[in-house]
């Protein structure tokens, strides 16, 4: 059994406000639900359907590449991970069982 790397980037808010924790969790839930709809619920889809939770880090990173590097260090059994980026976007990524 393998793993596929998945990522989503939430755009910065137009109003200049930052994303709240509950908003990030809600967005991840929507992403996960869409993955389940598209790929099914049978497991090993290689999508965020395999992740139950998103761990939101307090650390703000400079770029998408910096976030990818941090998330890629984990294995497929960890939660999805979210990092705030300096430009206001949110990076969500993780290895997903396939």
Q: Return the percentage of the chain with pLDDT > 70, whole number.
A: 99
Mean pLDDT along residues 10-29: 94
Mean pLDDT along residues 52-62: 97
The pair of structure tokens assigned to 28 is 């991840």
pTM summary value = 0.93
Whether the predicted pLDDT of 76 surpasses 80? yes
- Alpha-carbon distance of 63 to 22, in angstroms, equals 23
Give the strand order in the sheet containing 80-85: 3-10, 90-97, 80-85, 54-61
pLDDT for the residue 16: 79
Mean pLDDT along residues 26-55: 93
Asked if 19 and 28 touch (Cβ cutoff 8 Å), the reply is no
pLDDT for the residue 1: 65
pLDDT for the residue 75: 86
- Alpha-carbon distance of 80 to 75, in angstroms, equals 10
């Amino acid at each position: 059994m393998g793993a596929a790397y998945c990522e989503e980037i939430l755009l910065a808010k137009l109003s200049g406000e930052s994303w709240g924790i509950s908003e990030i969790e809600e967005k991840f839930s929507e992403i996960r639900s869409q993955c389940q709809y598209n790929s099914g619920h049978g497991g090993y889809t290689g999508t965020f359907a395999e992740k139950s939770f998103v761990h939101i880090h307090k650390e703000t990173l400079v770029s998408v590449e910096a976030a990818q590097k941090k998330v890629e260090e984990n294995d497929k059994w960890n939660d999805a991970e979210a990092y705030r980026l300096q430009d206001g976007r949110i990076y969500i990524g993780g290895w997903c069982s396939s």
